[in-house]
Amino acid sequence: MRTAVVVFPGANCEHDVVYALESLGGEAELVWHRETDLSGFDGVVLPGGFAHGDYLRAGAIARFSPVMSEVARMAAEGAPVLGICNGFQILCEAGLLPGALIANRDLLFICRPVELEVVDADTILTRGMTEGERVTIPLNSYEGAWVDPSNSGRVALRYVGDPNGSQRRAAAIADATGAVAGIMPHPERAVDKLLGGEDGRALLRAYLRSPAAA
Q: Taking a C-beta distance cutoff of 8 angstroms, is the pair 146, 155 a contact? A: no
> Residue 165 region, left (φ>0) first, then alpha (ψ -120 to 50), else beta?
left
**Residues annotated catalytic, as ranges:** 85, 186, 188
Alpha helix (H) residue ranges in the chain: 14-23, 67-76, 86-93, 200-213
Task: Count CA atoms within 13 Å of residue 54 on its CB side.
Answer: 18
Q: Cα separations (Å) of 27 from 39, 193, 208?
A: 15, 22, 9
